[in-house]
Amino acid sequence: MRVLLLGAAGGIGSAIREGLAGRYTLMRLADIAPLSAPGQGEETVRVDLLDLDGLAAAMAGIDCVVHMAGVPVEPETNAWEQVLPANIVGVHNLFEAARLAGIKRVLFASSHHAAGFHRRETPTAETLVPRPDSYYGVSKVFGEAMGRMYADKFGLQVLSLRIGAYRERPSDPRQLAVWISPRDMVELVRCGVEAPDFGYATVYGVSANTRTFWDNSAVAFLGYQPRDNAEAWAAEIMAGPPEAPAAAPFQGGGYCAKGFVGDLGRVD
Ligand SMILES: NC(=O)c1ccc[n+]([C@@H]2O[C@H](COP(=O)([O-])OP(=O)(O)OC[C@H]3O[C@@H](n4cnc5c(N)ncnc54)[C@H](O)[C@@H]3O)[C@@H](O)[C@H]2O)c1
């Protein structure tokens, strides 16, 4: 198995690099930012998501691409202008380069913000319908749609991981539901890389949290069994400040509350 890890210099990318070191024939690490020297079984390559040819070259000889590169939040200012290059143009380039390079499988780092305006009690199957809470969330809907289209039209295997909140530990009430620990994140990616053939799937990337919003039984085919539970921090966190009124009903929390002038009572 030869894996290309895009965004290898980032927070999640670094954890995957460390957690899966030595597991595959090749782990090619790619980022626009500098990377530390390659270890055994590793290669490093400087790549910009805006460079389609460079991306395709980085994918030569690769079986599976793990895409963890891009803008990972809703930027405080000029959100659309900042999200557009890496998360829209770059994600088009990701899938097109994968097609050109004959890649078999792509893991796409989506986000639960692709569906953040769903209410917390919404059944998981319904949350698969996009309901983004930000331009960032819209970019993740775009990435999931690109993955679906490239799976249907070009036969790529694509797994969209709707990652919750990746942290060492949860730090607010909502994260008691959406947290994913570093070791569970690495395990989810390992399962995605190694699972038997599939077509397309969107799954939530979340630890085994008691308060989770999501029934993650859709990940059964991956064999992912999370080990961590945010509940270990519940007493401490629930003794702290409550969530804002416009954040508390929605899965996306603060991303929904930011700039919110909608009708909190409206249900559709
Ligand atoms: N961290 C979370 O809680 C979380 C939650 C949901 C989804 N995600 C998604 O997971 C992925 C990784 O998140 P992270 O927290 O590790 O982010 P990060 O910012 O730490 O890492 C992203 C990496 O992408 C690289 N990058 C940015 N633009 C690039 C470009 N044009 N070309 C090549 N590389 C580029 C950066 O240099 C960086 O190393 C992102 O797609 C993010 O949206 C993260």
Q: What percent of the chain has pLDDT over 70?
A: 100
CATH for 2-257, options being 3.40.50.150, 3.20.20.70, 3.40.50.720, 1.10.10.10: 3.40.50.720
Separation of CA 267 and ligand 1 centre (Å)? 33
Going by pLDDT thresholds of 50, 70 and 90, the confidence category of residue 47 is very high
Give per-residue pLDDT as tens, 59-74.
999 999 999 999 999 9
| Domain spans in the chain, listed from the N-terminal domain onward | 2-257
CA distance 40 to 257: 46
Q: What is the best residue among 4, 50, 111 to mutate for testing ligand 1's pocket, by most ligand atoms within 8 Å of CB?
A: 111
> Does 178 score more than 90 pLDDT?
yes
Ligand 1 nearest atom to the CA of residue 9, by list position: 39
Residue type present at position 26: L
Give per-residue pLDDT as tens, 88-128.
999 999 999 999 999 999 999 999 999 999 999 999 999 99
Separation of CA 244 and ligand 1 centre (Å)? 27
Sheet strands (E) in 170-252: 179-180, 200-205
Separation of CA 50 and ligand 1 centre (Å)? 15
Q: What is the best residue among 68, 71, 146 to mutate for testing ligand 1's pocket, by most ligand atoms within 8 Å of CB?
A: 68
* Residue 242 per-residue DSSP state: P
Give per-residue pLDDT as tens, 180-222.
999 999 999 999 999 999 999 999 999 999 999 999 888 899 9
Question: What is the residue-wise DSSP string for 122-168?
Answer: S-HHHHTS---SSHHHHHHHHHHHHHHHHHHHH--EEEEEEE-EE-S
- Mean pLDDT over residues 158-178, rounded? 98
Reading phi first (left if > 0) and then psi (alpha if -120 to 50, else beta), residue 90 is in alpha
Q: Which residues are catalytic?
A: 136
Q: What does the pLDDT read at residue 265?
A: 87
